[in-house]
Amino acid sequence: MATPAGELWIKRDDLSGAPLGGNKVRALEFLLAGVKKGDEVLTVGARGSTHALATAVYGTGLGARVTVVRWRQEMNSDAHAVARRIERTADVTIDARSPIAAMVRVLLLRLRRHTCWVPAGGTSALGVLGHVNAAFELAEQVAAGRLPAPERIVVPLGTGGTSAGLALGLAMAALPVTLVCASVAPRIVANKSRVLRVAHACARLIERTTGVRIARPDPARIVVERGEYGGAYGRETERGREAVRWMRATHGVSLDATYSAKALAAVLGTPTPGPTLFWLTYDARAARGAG
């Protein structure tokens, strides 16, 4: 489809799972793989974290007791809706004043035995395997002719798990694509070094497991775009609002102000000669499920 971003395709990760999709489901497939009924699951995130919600939805669905520790963020309507649903879904919700205070609570809670720890965003060497798989899924779709090989892929960049997994998977699948990572969080969290560090940790995990040497991401193919951050996690931007309106009008698809709207805004108005693939990480069911 011809758009202000040039030829635009959408990877519908909002359809990645039921009852809730989005990018976090891919990480949880690995992070919750060993969870059984009666287990304790612990995670952490911002007050309106879709990761925290997904962990609560799927953890309780497995019969586990889920505790979510949250820190304050600048709220928008999407974040408010997700926050309410977390409170309804998790067994225990603990609110802290800051990320540091939240992590102190987490450290104390992790002293409990038999607790499955799910890191913020699902970002760990194990969690990013979900998006390594996603890159191979994309390669199969390209090979099958379901879409052309993209020149660039755009994703939001928070804790970096999605970007790290895609960067590694694209390298392993030999897809020469530029990965545009639109920052939605402070530079200390959302940066290329972190993406590469997590990608390399995942690569080492794969190599230890398989005994096979694998390709590493090319740093030159990872571009961090900071223009849509807005100065605070969760803060809406005007171009993000425009992206929300444009996507709803042209595709009937909902974006969230914290992540996906900023990612799309980063490429609207900057067309490239080849196709752009917008990786839709948000499932609107996250907000619609709130009461």
Q: Taking the model in full, what pTM does it have?
A: 0.95
Contact between residue 142 and residue 148 where contact means Cβ atoms under 8 Å apart = yes
List, for residues 43-68, the tens digit of each pLDDT value. Answer: 999 999 999 999 999 999 999 999 99
- Given the structure tokens 């990760």, which residue do they identify? 13
Q: Which two tokens stand for residue 37?
A: 């009924």
CA 239 – CA 236 distance, rounded (Å) = 9
Which residue, 92, 122, 152, sits at the end of a domain? 122
Residues 144 and 115 in one domain: no
Residues 169 and 284 in one domain: yes
pLDDT of 23 reads: 96
Residues 6 or more apart whose CB falls under 8 angstroms from that of 77 comprise 257, 287
pLDDT of 5 reads: 63
Q: Is residue 9 situated within a structural domain? A: yes
Contact between residue 223 and residue 250 where contact means Cβ atoms under 8 Å apart = no
Q: Is residue 58 situated within a structural domain? A: yes
- How many domains, in total, are found in the chain? 2
Q: Is residue 27 situated within a structural domain? A: no
CA 116 – CA 12 distance, rounded (Å) = 29
CA 276 – CA 289 distance, rounded (Å) = 31
Which residue, 100, 122, 144, sits at the end of a domain? 122
Angle formed at CA 152 by CA 78 and CA 216, multiple of 5 degrees: 100
Residues 6 or more apart whose CB falls under 8 angstroms from that of 18 comprise none
Q: Is residue 25 situated within a structural domain? A: no
Q: Is residue 246 situated within a structural domain? A: yes
pLDDT of 59 reads: 98
Residues 85 and 208 in one domain: no
Q: Is residue 26 situated within a structural domain? A: no
Residues 94 and 207 in one domain: no
Q: Is residue 188 situated within a structural domain? A: yes
Residues 109 and 132 in one domain: no
Residues 194 and 115 in one domain: no
Q: Is residue 138 situated within a structural domain? A: yes
CA 291 – CA 289 distance, rounded (Å) = 6
Residues 252 and 174 in one domain: yes
Residues 9 and 114 in one domain: no
Residues 113 and 201 in one domain: no
Per-10-residue mean pLDDT for the chain, 291 residues long?
A: 76 94 97 96 98 98 98 95 97 97 95 89 98 98 98 98 99 98 97 99 98 98 97 96 96 95 93 93 81 40
Ordered alpha helix ranges (H), 37-177: 50-61, 77-89, 99-109, 129-143, 161-172
Residues 256 and 145 in one domain: yes
Residues 60 and 157 in one domain: no
Please give the residue range of the domain that contains residue 15: 2-20+125-288
Residues 37 and 159 in one domain: no
CATH code of 112's domain: 3.40.50.1100
Which residue, 76, 106, 122, sits at the end of a domain? 122
List, for residues 91-143, the tens digit of each pLDDT value. Answer: 999 999 999 999 999 999 998 778 999 999 999 999 999 999 999 999 999 99
